[in-house]
């Protein structure tokens, strides 16, 4: 395992695109989270101009709700697309520059090659989750201090849900890149499906003219982002009648993990059968 990680680290250590995209991801992630409260309250101000009874401003950075809110904003598909694109580039480069062939010639088995990529996905998911958890803790500490008894009780499940979301989403991206083996095509198709096609299909199955169904809940990307489906903002319940999420469903976590396992299995089978 250590040997595989060393090989992968050598590939990305001087790869500027990887570090630039990673840096942009953290910049957009931090900006989105830190500006979320301002943007929400700005919308509240606009609504208060139209309604006789004003709605109160929201506070999303206080313990213990900060964990759920940060996990929600970090799990939005427009944010998750950054690490997904990074993973697509890493896997398609192996075929573009024929490094996968060189690795096999040098003695790496095909199974070890697949394992090395999955290890990178796992490590990226762990590192990002740890950084996000530390950031959430500091934001909550700054706003509400260290007085809450339930400081971490809500944090662990929602941070674990974010970890699963990120891990599975990157596996989806890896699978797309692995099957297409072309960087531009893989990024275009994955982005198109994730950001446009699946949302359209989602709302189609939820449309009033459709037969009563729950198909939309099992769409691959939707199973990832619905682990942290709503932020902990009571005003959403008052205004829109939403049943706000108060826990992470274990069954809901199994569904994207099942998709990811199937994709890994298919990738393993294709890797053994097809030429490099």
> Do 210 and 54 form a contact (C-beta atoms < 8 A)?
no
- pTM value is 0.91
- Whether the Cβ atoms of residue 170 and residue 124 lie closer than 8 Å to each other: yes
Q: What angle, rounded to 10 degrees, do the helices at 250-273 and 110-144 form?
A: 150
Taking Cα atoms as reference points, which of 237, 252, 230, 224 lies closest to residue 68?
A: 230
Percent of all residues in the chain with a pLDDT value above 90, rounded to a whole number: 47
* Predicted confidence (pLDDT) per residue in 52-75, tens digit: 677 677 778 888 888 888 999 999
- CB neighbours of 176 closer than 8 A, spacing ≥ 6? 88, 186, 189, 190
* Each residue's pLDDT tens digit, 138-185: 888 887 766 654 566 777 899 999 999 999 999 999 999 999 999 999
**What are the b/e assignments for 56-78, b being 16+ CB within 10 Å?**
eebebbebbbbbbbbbbbbbebe
Grouping H, G, I as helix, E, B as strand and the rest as coil, residue 244 is coil
Do 82 and 25 meet the contact criterion of CB atoms below 8 Å apart?
yes
Other beta carbons within 10 angstroms of residue 116's beta carbon come to: 20
- The winner for highest mean pLDDT among 50-54, 85-89, 202-206 is 85-89
């Amino acid at each position: 395992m250590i040997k595989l990680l060393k090989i992968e680290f050598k590939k990305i250590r001087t790869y500027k695109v990887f570090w630039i995209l990673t840096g942009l991801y953290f910049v957009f992630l931090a900006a989105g989270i830190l500006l979320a409260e301002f943007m929400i309250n700005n919308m509240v101000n606009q609504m208060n101009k139209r309604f006789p009874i004003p709605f109160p401003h929201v506070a999303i950075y206080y313990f213990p709700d900060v964990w759920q809110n940060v996990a929600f904003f970090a799990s939005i598909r427009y944010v998750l697309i950054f690490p997904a694109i990074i993973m697509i580039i890493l896997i398609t480069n192996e075929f573009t520059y024929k490094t996968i062939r060189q690795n096999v010639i040098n003695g790496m088995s095909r199974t070890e090659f697949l394992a090395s990529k999955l290890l990178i996905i796992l490590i990226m998911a762990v590192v990002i989750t740890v950084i996000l958890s530390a950031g959430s803790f500091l934001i909550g500490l700054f706003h509400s201090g260290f007085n809450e008894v339930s400081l971490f009780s809500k944090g662990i499940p929602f941070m674990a849900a974010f970890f699963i979301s990120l891990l599975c989403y990157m596996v989806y991206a890896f699978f797309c890149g692995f099957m297409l083996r072309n960087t531009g095509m893989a990024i275009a198709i994955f982005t198109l499906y994730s950001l446009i096609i699946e949302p359209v299909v989602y709302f189609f199955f939820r449309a009033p003219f459709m037969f009563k169904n729950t198909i939309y809940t099992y769409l691959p990307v939707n199973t990832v982002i619905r682990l942290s489906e709503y932020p902990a903002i009571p005003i959403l319940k008052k205004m829109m009648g939403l049943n706000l999420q108060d826990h992470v469903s274990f069954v809901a976590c199994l569904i994207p993990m099942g998709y990811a396992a199937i994709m890994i299995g298919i990738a393993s089978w294709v890797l053994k059968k097809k030429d490099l």
